[in-house]
Amino acid sequence: MPEGKLYRILMLIASPDISSKAEHLLSDDGIPVQYSVKVQGTASSDIMNMLGLGTSEKIMMATVVRQQDASAILRSFRKKLYLGMPNTGVAFTVPVSGGTAALFNFIDKAESSEGGNIMAEEGRDSCMIIAIVNQGSSDDVMKAARPAGATGGTVFHSRRLGDEKAVQRWGITIQEEREVVMILARNSRKKEIMEAINEHCGITTECHGVVFSVPIADIEGIG
């Protein structure tokens, strides 16, 4: 990264209409949305229908922003997208530890915002727990995580890439098709949630899962 400059990955998980509004807000500020993918909420369809929320389909958007602009962008999301209200979404930032010079130069030129305060406390009191498991195992992850303090999660599908011989050294077979479960949680519950997931869905179970966490720099949309 350029010396003396700090950046954040800005992520939004929200309903498709909220995500579309967020994309326009970012575009107005000259910030490109670099990634957008369809994901699923972990609530069952019966619960979603009972609450009148229709579908659990969500959009996960991700882009890189300057740290000095991150707080202002999140405040704008909270005010204009009503994050925290039912059936809206959650936005958060993750610290960036490195990247290519071309990427950061592009960000510096693209962003027109001059506002925003540098966040005084990195990580605060939240984290994102990520579990990567065999396809069809996301429900097992949430069944393990909820009693430990998780309130919900987001699921998307992925494909494993890597050396098959390296995988076989573990004496296990891991599916190519994988599911990624992302759970936002308080740091005070992180250990219990991760231990529960590892116990029930870890590498030695039928889920063949791996679990890790990353710090959240700032967040809007959850209490």
Query: pLDDT tens for residues 32-54?
Result: 777 888 887 775 555 444 434 44
Residue 53, pLDDT score: 43
- The pLDDT of residue 178 is above 80: yes
Secondary element (H or E) of residue 56: none
Secondary element (H or E) of residue 200: helix 187-201
Q: Say which CATH class 126-214 falls into.
A: alpha beta
Q: Say which CATH class 7-110 falls into.
A: alpha beta
What global pTM score does this model have?
0.72
Banded pLDDT at 116 (limits 50, 70, 90): very low
Segment 150-159 shows an average pLDDT of: 87
> What DSSP line would sit under 177-195, residue for residue?
EEEEEEEEEEHHHHHHHHH
Q: Which residues contact 41 (CB under 8 A, 6 or more apart)?
A: 48, 56, 57, 58, 152, 153, 154, 155
Residue 40, pLDDT score: 79
| CATH 3.30.70.120 domain locations along the chain | 7-110, 126-214
- The pLDDT of residue 136 is above 80: yes
User: How confident is the prediction for the chain on average, in pLDDT?
Assistant: 79
Residue 4 CA, chain-centre distance (Å), reads: 26
Greater confidence, 203 or 142? 142
- The pLDDT of residue 91 is above 90: yes
Cα separation, 29 vs 110, in Å, equals 9
pLDDT digits (tens, 9 = 90+) for 57-80: 789 999 888 888 899 999 999 999
Cα separation, 12 vs 58, in Å, equals 10
